[in-house]
Structure 1
Amino acid sequence: MIEIAFHPLYAHALPAGHRFPMEKYELIPAQLLHEGSITKENLVQPIPVDDEIVLLTHDKYYVQKLKTQTLSLAEERKIGFPQSVALTHREWLITQGTINCSLSAFKNGIALNVAGGTHHAFSDHGEGFCLLNDFAVAANYLLWEKLVNQILIIDVDVHQGNGTAAIFEHNPNVFTFCMHGAHNYPFHKTISNIDVPLPDGTDDYTYLTQLQEAIQYLLPLVKPNIVFYLSGVDVLQTDKYGKLNISMNGCKKRDEIVFKACKQQGIPVVVAMGGGYSPDIRTIIEAHCNTFRTALHLY
């Protein structure tokens, strides 16, 4: 059974002006349940992650600021959200959800977090709507518990995963691959193990060809025990900020390429949703739901 970490009422952790497109975190599981793709048995609600586990990745002074709501105004602006107890609580939930997905993926081949993919969070500060780096925390947890010795992070969100790259810059046990828009946020990129910067207007054929070649190269090179896959749908041609020209079908085929390659080699996959900012929220929900449908079809 595929397990899905979900976080009810996530949007209500934010002020009203910030909720769209955060409403997607409630609407994705609702749509999948409505259409019968999943049942309630597929959904698992996490508890907040232990601070001890967070501190395997994040600086203790930064964590203390998050817990005590003492971020400076400059730190708040860098994150993009006003700090709140509810928002911090949700971030701790999301991070534990990704850890739960990691453990579930070993049993089921794949597990998906309805949220997550907070790849702009560094060890000592947050950026770009990201407070904690859920992939980094989960990866370090698996290494700490000696459940794995080699991890591959595949990040295909349109925005480069600068926080993730920085956290694992000197860690040979975690290999970071990021395919992103070259002329998009963050404007100062942190170097991943492999970055594939894409020009504005990149189409399906170019995008999927480069991804297929990269996956065929990466898996035998890294030989990962587990893959963390950030499947942002801000690559869509409809996205307000994405600048790429990827169709809905192209986005779905992207997920198929990653899932099929990992399944063929018996590599567990942990999936987080990442970004998506198309003007019509129905487009965002459909694209994200396609990731779940693809996983359900293949696994």
Structure 2
Amino acid sequence: MTMIPLVYHASYSKLALPSHHKFPTTKYANLRQYLFDNQLATPAQFHAPIAMTAQDVMQVHQKEYVEQFITGTLPTMALRRIGFPWSEALVERTLHSVAGTTLTASLAIEHGISLHLTGGYHHAHYDFGSGYCIFNDLIIAAQKVIAAKQLHSVLIFDCDVHQGDGSATLSHRHNGIISCSIHCKENFPSRKQSSHYDIELSKGVDDKAYIETVEQTLALLIRIHQPDLILYDAGVDIHQNDDLGLLNISQEGLFRRDLTVLSIAKSANIPIAAVIGGGYSRDALQLSQRHSQLFIAANHLW
């Protein structure tokens, strides 16, 4: 079995939020512990990112927006749209998590696969954040590896239940980034943007129809674009019991989706970097089990 590189930083779960807050900030630390407890990972597999600089973030996001976020001077309305109260811990977490996805992309190019225990901040736009997303780690990672590794193209394959609206708008600003979002039509955001490819699913879609859609879409995109790297958002908010999802996908369905995506990438000999994306539940153990399907699928193949 290949030692699959995993990326994590302690700041991911070090965010003090009000008790009623919907965002499951502890899920990253919980997932890491769950992987250890169930022999799905070892400490030797883990890589820690170094916080990204503001200058690097500004390659993708508006300078004024980046500066206001880092200095804590964003207007109240802008913070409300993001959904988090501002804190130094939020800045640290954000700069480490976007760096983590870039590190995951680089490790995938080197090893064929790499998995990030956060990421998928796909509602972040050029000059504003939204839906718990501040900076768009997927676009930043794609832009950085295209420049650094001289890649021809990077496919963002987003299977979170919500449309990657920020990735959609930002992908049109950068050459070589192809955005695809497979999402629930009736879910957030109410106003969708145009990705290069948008596959809209009606609420209540089940395992069979969903996995067929994922399989056919990814196979077609690889045939058309032959990307040098796939950035895969493996959001588990498609699960039937997710607090914010509207699809009807079982835990077995999560595993089969992840296995399908990773298998297609491996067969095509295209490196794949995965982020865990969204997943919302008050039950910490169930959330860890859902996110762990990605790691089980990767261990199965590598």
Q: Shared fold by TM > 0.5?
A: yes
Q: Secondary structure at the match of 1:111?
A: strand
Whether the 8 Å CA contact 1:178–1:196 is kept in 2: the answer is: yes
* Cα distance between partner residues in 1 of 2:55 and 2:188: 31
CA apart distance, 1:280? 2.0
Question: Which residue type is aligned with residue 208 of structure 1?
Answer: I
* Cα distance between partner residues in 1 of 2:75 and 2:110: 42
Q: Secondary structure at the match of 1:191?
A: coil
Aligned partner of 1:43 among 28, 42, 46: 46
* Cα distance between partner residues in 1 of 2:162 and 2:294: 18
* 1:42-61 superposed matches below 5 A: 42-61=45-64
Aligned partner of 1:76 among 76, 79, 82: 79
Moved more, 242-251 or 270-279: 270-279
1:253 paired to 2:256 = yes
Q: 1:193 to 1:91 in 2, by over 3 A?
A: same
Q: Secondary structure at the match of 1:58?
A: coil
CA apart distance, 1:171? 3.6
Q: Which aligned segments of 4 or more residues in structure 1 are displaced greater than 6 angstroms?
A: none
1:235 paired to 2:221 = no
* Cα distance between partner residues in 2 of 1:296 and 1:239: 25
Question: Which residue type is aligned with residue 268 of structure 1?
Answer: P
Moved more, 279-288 or 199-208: 279-288
Match of 1:199 in 2: 202
Q: Secondary structure at the match of 1:145?
A: helix
Match of 1:6 in 2: 8
Q: Deviations over 1:61-120 (max 9, x none)?
A: 011001100010100110000111110111100111111111111121111110110000
Q: Secondary structure at the match of 2:10?
A: coil
Q: 1:241 to 1:19 in 2, by over 3 A?
A: closer
Q: Secondary structure at the match of 2:40?
A: coil
CA apart distance, 1:19? 7.4
Q: Secondary structure at the match of 1:188?
A: coil
* Cα distance between partner residues in 2 of 1:225 and 1:116: 20
- TM norm structure 1: 0.97
- TM norm structure 2: 0.96
Whether the 8 Å CA contact 1:239–1:279 is kept in 2: the answer is: no
1:128 paired to 2:131 = yes
Whether the 8 Å CA contact 1:91–1:132 is kept in 2: the answer is: yes
Match of 1:104 in 2: 107
* Cα distance between partner residues in 1 of 2:16 and 2:166: 22
Question: Which residue type is aligned with residue 47 of structure 1?
Answer: I
Match of 1:144 in 2: 147
Q: Deviations over 1:120-151 (max 9, x none)?
A: 00111100001111011111111222431111
Aligned partner of 1:215 among 218, 221, 234: 218
CA apart distance, 1:10? 2.6
The alignment covers a number of residue pairs equal to: 299
* Cα distance between partner residues in 1 of 2:109 and 2:148: 14
CA apart distance, 1:52? 2.3
Question: Which residue type is aligned with residue 10 of structure 2?
Answer: P
Moved more, 175-184 or 4-13: 4-13
Moved more, 99-108 or 7-16: 7-16
* Cα distance between partner residues in 1 of 2:66 and 2:282: 34
